[in-house]
Amino acid sequence: MEDLESKCASLRTEVAATEAQLARLKRELHDAEETALKSRTQDAADASTEAETRVKGKWPLSGEEYRRYGRQMIVPQLGLQGQLKLRDAKVLIVGAGGLGCPAALYLAGAGVGTLGLVDGDRVESSNLHRQVLHRSKNVGKLKVDSAIEYLTELNSHSTYIAHRAHLAPQEAPDIFKDYDLILDCTDNPATRYLISDTAVLLGKPLVSASALRTEGQLMVLNNPPRPAGDKTGGPCYRCVFPKPPPANSITSCADGGILGPVVGTMGVLQALEAIKVLTALEGTAEATPPSLLIFSAYSTPQFRTIKLRSRRPNCAVCSADASVTLESVRSGSMDYVFFCGTVDPEDILSSEERVTPLEYNKDHSPDTGRHVIDVRDKVQFDICNLENSINIPISTILASAHSTATKLADEPTPLPSWLPSEIAGDSDSPIYVVCRQGNDSQTAVRMLKELGLGRGGERRIVDIKGGFRSWREQVDPDWPDY
């Protein structure tokens, strides 16, 4: 027994030493990558400076720049002067994901002089089908570093600045002040309001886009940028959306899905609008009415445009009675998370109403009498599912809840038509509900009990805690991770 304990202690010591060595190697790798990135950026800057020096006094661009940008400079709407404006421009892209990657790709290709990227995430394999600046070899690397690595290879004439953290209210004004134009390439309301407020308060035009599943939206906001109270300025994000959507109505790409070309289309359109704003002639912004562009990949026509109103007279940030200031943003008194609300991921069921995947798998053999209801939508159910489970999407369950709520108080609760007869007629077998992450399944358990299927506690109705995310961790590591 003592020999076994001694061996265990020795193995623990060896593991700790290996982990310490791995941590040291990761730090060294990170430092080496940063040094290499700075070196590439500096080399590009030196090359650009040398080229400018050689042609100074004769031609405004180097010979290589004329060759590189010639095809776009001969477009009448751009011309040489437009190209020079692009070279002098500084654009900040917030978000180096599905929108930010194609936007950065085309802005760098077009010759924008300085591109800043803000993002605190690291590259994951699930990003690669749509985030076109990242490659398989860069999985685990910070997205801004991965993106700048690609962009530097594409165009060394531009300068790239990495902001390696998620945008925070305390830092946003100091970051934004050095740029001419902002691109909102994020995917959550709190950050969208922060970006718009900061852009308006600092007088920066903003190109905002979003995409989910097969649809996207695009707006050019605060264009032209005007001081608060000036009605000739373009509307801001708050003018279009004075109140954020309910927190529980927000669907992320991870939950709702996204087609790569859809988000790519919106990112490319952001780059196009940015070029138009940066190269616009004086006074043309006032002549362009604000609008919301809606893209739907499976509709005909695919593009629709909705005219937007001008600035709201009671807008909290761009009206004469604005209540949001740079100080309120920096200090945190403008709490964007509180303003937009959060979805509480905590348990809404008691511990007796929940089982872990490990407990479910251990206590129930395949031939044990029970019912398993999978409340994911059908397309996810078709990707992978438990044997003999029944697919009843949560949307179907919630729809029937509405009709149940409208019945008279003395009426018996009718069983909905979507409930299979083997579940409705079986009063003894327990019901287990599962979903992707363990949230919808809790709601479904509540609804099934309200329908009377639990018979006052006599019949067991529980959810599988953590859903298939936990199932993969506890039971089946080969379960598809999508």
Statement to judge: residues 149 and 236 lie in one domain: yes
| DSSP assignment letter at 225 | -
Question: What CA–CA distance (Å, rounded) separates 330 from 171?
Answer: 7
Is 98 annotated for ligand binding? yes
Q: Is the pLDDT of residue 477 over 50?
A: yes
Is 119 annotated for ligand binding? yes
- pLDDT band, very low/low/confident/very high, at 408 (cuts 50, 70, 90): very low
The pLDDT tens digits of the residues spanning 285-302 come to: 667 899 999 999 999 999
Is 187 annotated for ligand binding? yes
Q: Is the pLDDT of residue 91 over 90?
A: yes
Statement to judge: residues 134 and 281 lie in one domain: yes
Is 127 annotated for ligand binding? yes
Is 8 annotated for ligand binding? no
The answer as to whether 20 is a domain residue is no
What pLDDT does residue 51 have? 47
What pLDDT does residue 5 have? 72
Start-to-end CA span in the chain (Å):
45
Statement to judge: residues 292 and 413 lie in one domain: no
Is 446 annotated for ligand binding? no
Q: Is the pLDDT of residue 412 over 60?
A: no
8, 101, 253, 340: the active-site residue = 253
Q: Which of 129, 126, 131 minimizes the C-alpha distance to 147?
A: 131
- pLDDT band, very low/low/confident/very high, at 405 (cuts 50, 70, 90): very low
How many domains in the chain?
2
Statement to judge: residues 396 and 471 lie in one domain: yes
Statement to judge: residues 470 and 384 lie in one domain: yes
Question: Which amino acid type is present at position 387?
Answer: E
Residue 418 is part of which domain span? 354-475
Least reliable range by pLDDT among 45-49, 89-93, 304-308: 45-49
Cα angle 199-203-207, degrees, rounded to a multiple of 5? 50
Statement to judge: residues 363 and 238 lie in one domain: no
What pLDDT does residue 36 have? 65
The pLDDT tens digits of the residues spanning 238-264 come to: 999 999 988 877 888 888 899 999 999
Backbone φ and ψ for 29, nearest 5 degrees, come out as -60, -45
The pTM of this model reads 0.80
Tokens representing residue 122 in the block: 């690291």
**CATH number of residue 186's parent domain:** 3.40.50.720
Q: Is the pLDDT of residue 373 over 70?
A: yes
Is 138 annotated for ligand binding? no
Q: Is the pLDDT of residue 219 over 70?
A: yes
The question of whether 435 is a catalytic residue gets the answer yes
The question of whether 253 is a catalytic residue gets the answer yes
Q: Which of 311, 340, 369 is the last residue of a domain?
A: 340
**CATH number of residue 458's parent domain:** 3.40.250.10
Provide the 3-class DSSP secondary structure of residue 419: coil
Encode 10-41 in three state secondary structure.
HHHHHHHHHHHHHHHHHHHHHHHHHHHHHHHH
Q: Which of 275, 310, 340 is the last residue of a domain?
A: 340
Q: Is the pLDDT of residue 161 over 90?
A: yes
The answer as to whether 328 is a domain residue is yes
Statement to judge: residues 365 and 230 lie in one domain: no
Q: Is the pLDDT of residue 401 over 80?
A: no
The answer as to whether 67 is a domain residue is no
| More confidently predicted of 152 and 56 | 152
| More confidently predicted of 250 and 61 | 61
The answer as to whether 80 is a domain residue is no
Question: What CA–CA distance (Å, rounded) separates 46 from 168?
Answer: 32
- Tell me the average pLDDT across 422-432: 86
101, 185, 340, 435: the active-site residue = 435
Statement to judge: residues 336 and 236 lie in one domain: yes
- Tell me the average pLDDT across 134-154: 98
Statement to judge: residues 254 and 381 lie in one domain: no
In a 13 Å sphere around the CA of 159, the CA atoms on its Cβ side amount to: 16
What pLDDT does residue 55 have? 44
Q: Which of 321, 37, 405, 333 minimizes the C-alpha distance to 170?
A: 333
